[in-house]
Amino acid sequence: MARDAATAADPILDGLDAMLPALEVLYKDLHSHPELSMQESRTAAVAAEQLRAAGFDVATGIGVTGVVGLLRNGDGPTVMLRADMDALPVEESTGLPYASKVTATDRTGHDVPVSHMCGHDMHVTWLAGAARLLAAARPAWRGTLLAVFQPGEETAEGARAMINDGLFARYPKPDVVLGQHVMVGPAGTVAGRAGAITSAADSLQIRLFGRGAHGSMPQASVDPVVMAAATVMRLQGIVSREVAAAEAAVVTVGALQAGTKENVIPDEAVIKLNVRTFDEGVRARVLAAIERIVNAEAQASGAPRQPEITALDSYPLNVNNRDASKRLVDAFRAHFGADRVRETGAAPASEDFGSFGTDWRVPSVFWFVGGTDPGVYDAAKKANRLNQLPVNHSPKFAPVLHPTLRMGVETLVVAARTWMPA
């Protein structure tokens, strides 16, 4: 693939063409060997070896399986680049020759299929490539580089685990924290925005308690199935009736579990739901409404005890620093051209990336790199079928290798260089 003028002008990117075949091999290897959240031992070992080969000081086992590489290169700013490593309990159906056939035991003891249907294998490959390019061209920049390979993003625990394991005490405070994600969009483009970039997310489990009885004698019961059904229907009114049209929220009930036999009214029912919001005030109102509705429906049903509401996981609102975002967008436009740098809306997906910048109290910027074949994307757009393209977490999600591999490495290098000039 021919290099564009901007790529050729940056000495750090001189070795990218020669590196691409090795990065493709690395990506396919990671894709074929996915690991569940907080179980990323093999992936972490691969990441650590990539960093050691580039000359980084490497620490492993931070936050269970996290990896950090430190490269000091004279006086200058400190930049943190982050990639997440974990895969999903999803059976891959891409049909790729290197598709995952892996199964693993999850934390509940169940055997599940595992695959990289969110693109974290691409993220690891990008950061490995960028780290090696920057290490090989030290005369072209100065400062300190932190390369962080994070576990457990899919369960919202990896960033917090690394922080709680002393990440901030062990490493210099960065001037900026940078990260990116492969998403549906034309490969060869980058998209982002100042302000909120990904939503806050809260997952809850609700246990509703009733009184069991024979199915032929419902008058002897307090039916938790009916209680759960009424609760689910009432929850749908939160977004449509309690959130203003100019605001945004999503309340999704993903599981309702009750009973095992058709003629037995069970003692309890379980609801699992997910909330997405882009404003802390909206988040607080939605969570309060859920609690109010759940308790009210239980009381209206005559439940023998109050429901139990348990938080399963929680992602912070991910907010891009405005000044740092402008600085980065200007650098991207200068390098790639304005036609390849797009502004996007806030994504309803969620990320724990924001924890690093928020807790360290430093600016952070997160952006998206397109991974869809441009021809496929354009055809779908013309046919008004963009919503039919396989998205992250779909069993068919498969970023096109080229130019996605190149683009993600370039964006990380350009971003780091924005704060670490020669």
User: Tell me: the pLDDT tens digits for 330-344?
Assistant: 999 999 999 999 999
Q: Is the pLDDT of residue 5 over 50?
A: no
| Longest CA–CA separation in the chain, Å | 81
Q: Is 118 annotated as a binding residue?
A: yes
Point out the domain boundary residue: 287, 315, 343. 315
pLDDT of residue 309: 98
Q: How far is CA 112 from CA 92, 96, 353, 389, 415, in A?
A: 12, 20, 26, 25, 37
Phi and psi, residue 226, nearest 5°: -65, -40
Per residue, the 3-state secondary structure of 76-113, as one string, reads CCEEEEEEECCCECCCCCCCCCCCCCCEEECCCCCEEE
pLDDT of residue 358: 95
Q: Where are the beta strands (DSSP E) in 284-329?
A: 308-315, 318-320
Q: Kindly state whether residues 308 and 390 are assigned to the same domain.
A: no
Point out the domain boundary residue: 247, 282, 315. 315
User: Tell me: the pLDDT tens digits for 74-102?
Assistant: 999 999 999 999 999 999 999 999 999 99
Q: Is 116 annotated as a binding residue?
A: no
Percentage helix, strand, coil, to 5, in the chain? 40, 25, 30
pLDDT of residue 340: 97
The amino acid occupying position 312 is: L
Q: Kindly state whether residues 70 and 109 are assigned to the same domain.
A: yes
Q: Is 123 annotated as a binding residue?
A: no
Q: Kindly state whether residues 68 and 136 are assigned to the same domain.
A: yes
The C-alpha atoms of residue 409 and residue 130 are separated, in whole angstroms, by 5
pLDDT of residue 45: 98
Q: Is 120 annotated as a binding residue?
A: yes
Its domain, for residue 88, covers: 5-198+317-419
Average model confidence (pLDDT) across the chain: 96
pLDDT of residue 422: 82
Phi and psi, residue 133, nearest 5°: -65, -45
Q: Is the pLDDT of residue 117 over 90?
A: yes
The SS3 of residue 132 is helix
Q: Kindly state whether residues 154 and 9 are assigned to the same domain.
A: yes
Q: Kindly state whether residues 180 and 209 are assigned to the same domain.
A: no
The C-alpha atoms of residue 85 and residue 83 are separated, in whole angstroms, by 7
Q: Where residue 190 sits, what CATH number does that domain have?
A: 3.40.630.10
Neighbours of 222 (CB within 10 A): 20
Q: Kindly state whether residues 33 and 142 are assigned to the same domain.
A: yes
Q: Kindly state whether residues 365 and 395 are assigned to the same domain.
A: yes
Q: Measuring CA to CA, which residue among 316, 303, 50, 87 is closest to residue 197?
A: 316
Query: 240: which 2 tokens?
Result: 């449509």
pLDDT of residue 6: 43
Q: Where residue 207 sits, what CATH number does that domain have?
A: 3.30.70.360
Task: Judge contact between 247 and 286, C-beta under 8 A.
Answer: no
Q: Is the pLDDT of residue 105 over 60?
A: yes
Task: Judge contact between 224 and 268, C-beta under 8 A.
Answer: yes
Q: Is the pLDDT of residue 48 over 80?
A: yes
Q: Please name the residue that has the structure tokens 């200058």.
A: 76
Q: Is the pLDDT of residue 283 over 90?
A: yes
User: Tell me: the pLDDT tens digits for 52-65?
Assistant: 999 999 999 999 99
The pTM assigned to this predicted structure is: 0.92
Long-range CB contacts (within 8 A, 24+) of 59-64: 59/170, 62/162, 62/165, 62/166, 62/167, 62/170, 63/150, 63/151, 63/152, 63/158, 63/159, 63/160, 63/161, 63/162, 63/163, 63/164, 63/165, 63/167, 64/38, 64/151, 64/152, 64/161, 64/165
Question: Exposed e or buried b for every residue in 293-318, given b needs 16+ CB within 10 A?
Answer: bbeebbeebebeeebeeeeebbbbbb
Q: How far is CA 257 from CA 69, 260, 272, 313, 379, in A?
A: 44, 9, 9, 19, 41
**Percent of the chain with pLDDT strictly greater than 90:** 97
pLDDT of residue 421: 84
User: Tell me: the pLDDT tens digits for 218-230?
Assistant: 999 999 999 999 9
Q: Kindly state whether residues 292 and 363 are assigned to the same domain.
A: no
User: Tell me: the pLDDT tens digits for 300-329?
Assistant: 999 999 999 999 999 999 999 999 999 999
Q: Kindly state whether residues 13 and 137 are assigned to the same domain.
A: yes
Q: Is the pLDDT of residue 391 over 80?
A: yes
Q: Count of domains in the chain? A: 2
Q: Kindly state whether residues 31 and 150 are assigned to the same domain.
A: yes
Q: Kindly state whether residues 207 and 311 are assigned to the same domain.
A: yes
User: Tell me: the pLDDT tens digits for 238-265?
Assistant: 999 999 999 999 999 999 999 999 999 9
In angstroms, how far is the first alpha carbon of the chain from the final one?
27
Q: Kindly state whether residues 25 and 102 are assigned to the same domain.
A: yes
Which band of pLDDT confidence, cut at 50, 70 and 90, is reported for residue 10?
A: confident
Q: Is 33 annotated as a binding residue?
A: no
Contacts of 230 (CB under 8 A, 6+ apart): 297, 300, 301
Point out the domain boundary residue: 315, 339, 364. 315
Q: Measuring CA to CA, which residue among 256, 288, 266 is closest to residue 213?
A: 266
